[in-house]
Amino acid sequence: MCGVVGLFLKNRVLEPELGVLTAGMLTVLTDRGPDSAGFALYSAGLPGHLKFTLRGPKHYDFSALAAAFGVACRLHDDHAVFPVPENQEADFRAALANHPEITIVASGARMELFKGTGLPEDVSRRFGLQTMSGSHAIGHTRMATESAVTTQGAHPFSTGPDQCLVHNGSLSNHNDVRRTLIREHISFETQNDSEVAAGYLSWKLRSGAKLDEALTSALGVLDGFYTFVVGTESGFGVLRDPVACKPAVMAETDDYVAFGSEYRALVDLPGISNAHLFEPEPAKVYFWEHSV
């Protein structure tokens, strides 16, 4: 089941509304995924810094860690965003190794990633999605079918800097692909098949492929039923498997490109009545990108 959404803004005037619009799209798809939800949002970064999104136990005090690195972290419920100077990345990761209670959810120049168990509306509210701005975002509502309902198992999955993926479907060969990727030094936090898809794309991107090239390559490697929506620092991509049995609809205007598992996720977007609506074709890569 699961619900997938994505919103890529062409018009920067709309950037302050990105969080509100994304939250609305997620909430509409609650019945497709009431178990957990998550989203990744790309906003302005601080030159010379990386953003680390961390997760800790409920009411965890991140202030001591922030003070040690001389930064001001931003709290979002049990997540926190740390702007870390690029030249201190290795030291920061080493420091986190001494705090096994803290999980690195994601890192990158622009991406912030939040996820948790519960209804999509509640998850969005806990993290303050409605107040966030940025250039593009992807989100997911999960109905667990093959693994437990946990924050770790919620989407999006991030396996590389500024890279994440949400997925509706099921991969049949994820164990084989995972073993191959581990040999290529891609690490995984879960046994979830969707994380394997994210890892495969990270590996291809790390090897120099563009996002559209990585998605095209995935068609010959990943078996199963899937609709992927993928985010990078500058881009937004969509891919359905060759059978394309999972629902998907897209809308494009002069101001944005939007994706939803169902049209009802798009109905409240500005200008939707005049949008070009279409169903993404099977085994065809759709890709948009901002200049960075």
Domains delineated in the chain: 3-44+117-289 (3.60.20.10), 45-109 (3.30.70)
CA atoms of 38 and 129, how far apart (whole Å): 10
Burial 149-177 (b: 16+ CB within 10 A, else e): eebbbbbbbbbbbbbbbbbbbbbeebeeb
pLDDT at 178: 97
CA end-to-end distance (rounded Å), the chain: 35
Known catalytic residue at 2: yes
Q: What is the pLDDT of residue 174?
A: 97
Distance, CA of 69 to CA of 85 (rounded, Å)? 9
Cα(144)–Cα(128) distance, rounded to whole angstroms? 24
pLDDT value of position 291: 76
Q: Kindly state the tokens that stand for 134.
A: 């940025």
C-alpha distances in Å from residue 160, one per residue of 171, 222, 250, 264, 286: 20, 18, 26, 32, 21
SS3 204: helix
193 φ/ψ angles, rounded to the nearest 5 degrees: -65, -30
Residue 69 banded pLDDT, cuts 50, 70, 90: confident
Mind listing the pLDDT tens digit for each residue in 210-231?
Answer: 999 999 999 999 999 999 999 9
Average pLDDT, the chain: 95
Distance CA 1, CA 86 (A): 39
CB 170 within 8 A of CB 144: no
pLDDT at 152: 87
Q: Which residue has the tokens 């986190």?
A: 96
Cα(172)–Cα(155) distance, integer angstroms: 19
Q: Which residue in 2, 73, 164, 245 is the catalytic one?
A: 2
Spatial neighbors of 99 by CB under 8 A, at least 6 apart, are 65
**Residues in the chain, how many?**
292
| Confidence check: pLDDT of 236 > 80 | yes
